[in-house]
Structure 1
Amino acid sequence: MEDMISMEKVKRNQRKYSDETKSLIQVGGYIAPIDFLWEDILIGITLKKPILLKGPSGSGKTKLAQSISALFNQPMHSVNCSVDLDAESLLGFKTIITKEGQSIIEFIDGPVIQAMKKGHILYIDEINMAKPETLPILHSVLDHRRMLTNPFTGEVIHAHEDFSVIAAINEGYVGTSPMNEALKNRFISFSIPYLTGQQLREVIRAQFPQVSEQLIESLMNINEDLKKQVINGLLAEEAASVRSLLDAVALAQYIPIKRAVLYAIAEKLEDKMEHKLIMELVDTWVK
């Protein structure tokens, strides 16, 4: 019976997506680079499976999570992982407050506990940046138990039925480490590639409706060349980032394209040879 109810929710959410896709695009929502990717992720979310988004920087992982939040009208609590992430950053902390003239200790819920109690989305960004010993505290939250015993208060928290978890990783980047198997096995994983072709053009047009077709065409051509060099191993993945391309579009409305690409893309790379290659590619399209 529970599986039948879940699948009915999936169908309703798929219909809702079909009805609302255009409005999501108009407000800068996520556009899937693969036809079935968005709907498959929605099925995972509806079944309350923790979702892991794997992809290069600027491929739209955060935008995807934000679009799910918008689609379901479900607030999202974000955790930005780093080597400094600790249990308090995830769960909350104790503080002293004054109440009716007396000082008392009160626990302030962190993003994990807030999302669990309120039935919101928990978004864990760059989860492989956190120290491996920090994240096991989430194991019971991410598996079938969907619960947590708060080590600071002893409170046992059972997740609201609408609670969902989305995590994102940039694999192979400096400062990251492989996820341990116990953690990774709790997720359903999806690879998120960069947008290409007409889909990328739609994103640009949605965010910059006043930009000329000539400007879009020039930057699209430059972006395609950058992707080819990424595939050939001559440029780092972030050179073809959609985020960087959109930054270049924003700048190119007011300054020459060549300077826009310099500031939005080339200057982000530390390797001087990569920097030079990007600007040479630009010269082939912009005179």
Structure 2
Amino acid sequence: MNINYPLPDEIIRILQENRNKTNKYQHLIRPGGYMPPHIDLLIDAITALSLGKNILLKGPTGAGKTKFAETLSNLFQQPMFSVNCSVDLDAESLLGFKTLSYQGEKQMIEFVPGPVINAMTNGTFLYIDEVNMAKPETLPLINGVLDYRRTITNPFTNEIITASEGFGVIAAINEGYIGTVPLNEALKNRFIVLEIPYIEGAQLKQLIETNSKLNDETLTNYFVKLSSDLIEAVTQGKLSEDAASIRALLDACDLSVYIPPKRAVLRAIVDKLDEDREKEFVLNLAETYF
């Protein structure tokens, strides 16, 4: 079923008028969408994108950055092309590639556009995930796309491409992970930065109810409390951020419908950790609830 959303400026007005009334703006977000812990986060993201700014979602793994990007795309009623960064990311992964094709019996070279050019020509959002995983020499290829010019010279066709109206860029970053590199200032200055915290409390409970198969309220409350303890342990430096991933918690909730919840925590959270000390810590926490 298609949902007709208000225009972004109307969304901002609704949010501003109902800052302290969560139930008054929840209808704007599709079931399963991202409900930010602070309404100002949603207002600021929509405002920046409405003004043609790029936004950088910065926060721990599993905090909901990708889900937030998808929610913003839905609110603006447009699809989103995605780039998943890695050390192997190159110009072809970003812009597209040439391939052989046939027109009748005649052999031709055809250019197949990549996510950046697709988003630009279609006037939609471009989502760049884990932007700091890319090699430092790769992303400057799209500097012109990210600033006021909104243009790029396609190195494969020499065509100058200017973004259509509606084009916008959302990027996400996980800091301090193996394989990541600090963003250079030229790239960072092209973004409005939004810090994405973990979702906790009533909002996490709602997220579990709408995004997992678990419908046992008692178990749901225990998972919410477990998540709070894990986040606190991460804050105190006792655990790595992976342990408090909301994505991993939702996996545990799904598994707990079919297997004992303690074993679900083992499979979805504990076994992803590297250090025995951390594994034991999380298992002990799970033991107190399950």
Alignment TM-score, normalising by the size of structure 2: 0.92
Q: In the alignment, what sits opposite 2:26? A: 21
Unmatched segments (≥5 aa) in structure 2: 1-6, 19-23
Number of residues paired by the alignment? 277
TM-fit CA distance, 1:229: 1.0
Equivalent residue of 1:36, what SS? Answer: helix
Q: In the alignment, what sits opposite 2:173? A: 169
Cα gap change, 1:21 to 1:237, in 2 (>3 Å): same
1:131-142 residue pairs with structure 2 within 5 A? 131-142=135-146
1:74 and 2:81 correspond: no
> What CA distance in whole angstroms lies between the structure 1 residues aligned with 2:123 and 2:151?
12
Q: Deviations over 1:193-214 (max 9, x none)?
A: 0001111111111224761111
> What CA distance in whole angstroms lies between the structure 2 residues aligned with 1:242 and 1:34?
17
1:78-97 residue pairs with structure 2 within 5 A? 78-97=82-101
Q: In the alignment, what sits opposite 1:154? A: 158
TM-fit CA distance, 1:100: 2.2
TM-fit CA distance, 1:34: 1.3
Q: In the alignment, what sits opposite 1:183? A: 187
> What CA distance in whole angstroms lies between the structure 1 residues aligned with 2:30 and 2:158?
44
2:213·2:257 contact (CA, 8 Å) conserved in 1?
A: no
TM-fit CA distance, 1:48: 1.0
Task: Identify which range, 83-92 or 213-222, moves more after superposition.
Answer: 213-222
Match of 2:63 among 40, 52, 59: 59
Match of 1:129 among 133, 151, 154: 133
Q: In the alignment, what sits opposite 2:9? A: 11
Q: Deviations over 1:167-206 (max 9, x none)?
A: 0000111110100111111111001000011111111112
Match of 2:275 among 268, 271, 277: 271
Cα gap change, 1:41 to 1:23, in 2 (>3 Å): closer
2:91·2:138 contact (CA, 8 Å) conserved in 1?
A: yes
1:126·1:167 contact (CA, 8 Å) conserved in 2?
A: yes
Unmatched segments (≥5 aa) in structure 1: 1-8
1:30·1:60 contact (CA, 8 Å) conserved in 2?
A: yes
Percent identity reads: 52
Equivalent residue of 2:171, what SS? Answer: strand
> What CA distance in whole angstroms lies between the structure 2 residues aligned with 1:210 and 1:32?
21
1:205·1:211 contact (CA, 8 Å) conserved in 2?
A: yes
2:56·2:191 contact (CA, 8 Å) conserved in 1?
A: yes
